[in-house]
Structure 1
Amino acid sequence: MNETGLREHGTGFVRLMAAAGTVLIVLSAAVACISGVAFDKSFYRDEYRKMDTAAYVGVTDPVLEQATNTLLDYLQGNAPSLDLAMDNGEEYYSQREKDHMVDVKALYQNAVLFMTVGFCAGGALFAGCFLWKRERALGTFLRCYFWAAVGVLALFACIGVWAAVDFNSFWVSFHHMFFTNDLWLLDPAVSRMIRMFQEAFFANMVARILAWFLSAAVGSAAAAGIVYQRMKKHGRPEYTCN
């Protein structure tokens, strides 16, 4: 392979590293948005108030808040179990609900692990771009970040449209994809958990997650594209990808 071929091969490899790093970081950012919304207690309070959830569940507001805090603490590993006895001695959460939350906790912990590894691996790939081809790295990074982010955004935009058009179909498909049992099928007549988190609650949560993520991703992708075009226009060689 001649010198030109080696240069092109090196540039192509750097582009691949930048694209892979971008996808990892953007997907990790999506998990960060999910975690940020899912554990925002003010969001729960607002939704409960709008939907009059305490009355629907059949408990007082303090009991509902305690049940929510116990659930969130359990998912984050800050509580050993979902055991929560009410004043009459009855367990707030049923055994089926507790079993389902074991699966949800495992899913969340795996997502957090992916987020951590994704941010670290993505950052390492970007660092590798600069070490491999320093004189072209910034332009390669900006261009690949823009296009890889656009690709991921398109995927999440499609998910958002699906959820907006038919949330029930989206939500059922989500559970079939990530759970191997039917413990998530809860009866509102007997399950306090399903009455706490009605379809409208989850629809609002998904909408908020998508709003956070799309705002951050669109903003960063637009910034990368603008900086790349401006630097290229001014003829800065470190911003070209040739």
Structure 2
Amino acid sequence: MKLTKLFVLFFVVLLPVTLLLTTVDMVTFNEKYFSDKYEEYDISKKTGMNKEDLSRVTKKLLNYIKGEDDDIKISATINGQNRQVFNEKEILHMKDVKDLFEKGHMIRNISLIVVILCLAIILILERKKIGKYLMILSIYPLGIMGILALLMYIDFDKYFTYFHLLFFKNDLWLLDPSKDILIQMLPQEFFYSIAYKISFIFILELVILLIVGFILNKKFNRRKFIF
């Protein structure tokens, strides 16, 4: 019985983690999203690069984070002058970002394996309670996401800074908007937008799981609501 509860605990905790990290990947590596935001924020004018070069540099950047390119050394025409896009500080910061994503991918992949294993065991031993567990694992992260969304709405800059202080051990992320192309390409408004897109999709996924859990709970326990 205690072992079963342990599997349930892993399932309830790790499924939301798996979903969140997968959602981060899905949004982060969507090149069309970047293109749309470049148009919205007039990034071509701010960086001095044309749309074709912006697209090429972005693809290089995303491929590097995914591990498909070895570096982000790339040249482009900026304000009429052909030059290397990213300076040493930007390159070092993106190495930190890449390392962070690699850790995220590792956590997501391990979590996915554990979730599948735990789900199989739950379906064998406690099939009638699967709806209850889906509802539980949906409700607590919904509450957390609600609080985080409110905090970001109140003062995004403050909590965006906290994020960097928590996940980065240096100050390489403190870039200069007047000269660093990376922050000109990806201003704070972009991160505000992408954070809310990730939050919205993740919350939608949790709501779907909550509904599925409610339906399954009702199906397996027709005469009583178990929670």
**1:86 aligns to what SS in structure 2?**
strand
Q: Which residue of 1 aligns with 2:144?
A: 155
Residue identity in the other structure for 1:198: P
Q: Which residue of 1 aligns with 2:119?
A: 126
Whether contact under 8 Å (1:23, 1:149) holds in the other structure is no
**1:90 aligns to what SS in structure 2?**
strand
Residues in 2 aligned to 1:36 and 1:118: alpha-carbon distance in whole angstroms? 17
Q: Which aligned pairs between 1:214-233 and structure 2 lie closer than 5 A?
A: 214-233=203-222
Report the TM-score, using the length of structure 2 for normalisation.
0.92
Identity of aligned residues (%): 21
Gaps of 5+ in 1: 1-9
Q: Which residue of 2 aligns with 1:166?
A: 155
Matched, 1:18 2:8: yes
Residues in 2 aligned to 1:104 and 1:223: alpha-carbon distance in whole angstroms? 35
Equivalenced residue count is 224
Residue identity in the other structure for 2:12: T
Matched, 1:180 2:173: no
Whether contact under 8 Å (2:133, 2:213) holds in the other structure is no
How many angstroms does 1:15 deviate by? 3.7
Whether contact under 8 Å (1:100, 1:184) holds in the other structure is yes
Residues in 2 aligned to 1:83 and 1:33: alpha-carbon distance in whole angstroms? 28
Matched, 1:42 2:32: yes
Instruction: Identify which range, 224-233 or 207-216, moves more after superposition.
Output: 224-233
Matched, 1:213 2:202: yes
1:132-183 per-residue CA deviation (whole Å, 9 max, x = no partner) reads: xx3xx11222212211221122112211111122110111011011000000
Report the TM-score, using the length of structure 1 for normalisation.
0.87
Q: Which residue of 1 aligns with 2:178?
A: 189
Residues in 2 aligned to 1:89 and 1:194: alpha-carbon distance in whole angstroms? 19
1:99-157 per-residue CA deviation (whole Å, 9 max, x = no partner) reads: 000000000011011111101011112222344xx3xx112222122112211221122
Whether contact under 8 Å (2:49, 2:76) holds in the other structure is no
Q: Which residue of 1 aligns with 2:87?
A: 94
Q: Which residue of 2 aligns with 1:3?
A: none
Change (3 A) 1:60 1:240: closer
Residue identity in the other structure for 1:69: K
Residues in 1 aligned to 2:176 and 2:86: alpha-carbon distance in whole angstroms? 13
How many angstroms does 1:18 deviate by? 1.7
**1:165 aligns to what SS in structure 2?**
helix
Residues in 2 aligned to 1:198 and 1:33: alpha-carbon distance in whole angstroms? 21
Residues in 1 aligned to 2:56 and 2:130: alpha-carbon distance in whole angstroms? 47
1:67-97 per-residue CA deviation (whole Å, 9 max, x = no partner) reads: 1111001001111101002354521011100
> Which of the pair has more CA radius of gyration?
1
How many angstroms does 1:65 deviate by? 1.1
Instruction: Identify which range, 194-203 or 154-163, moves more after superposition.
Output: 154-163
**1:233 aligns to what SS in structure 2?**
coil
Cα-Cα RMSD: 1.8
Residues in 1 aligned to 2:226 and 2:5: alpha-carbon distance in whole angstroms? 12
Q: Which runs of 4+ in 1 moved over 3 A?
A: none
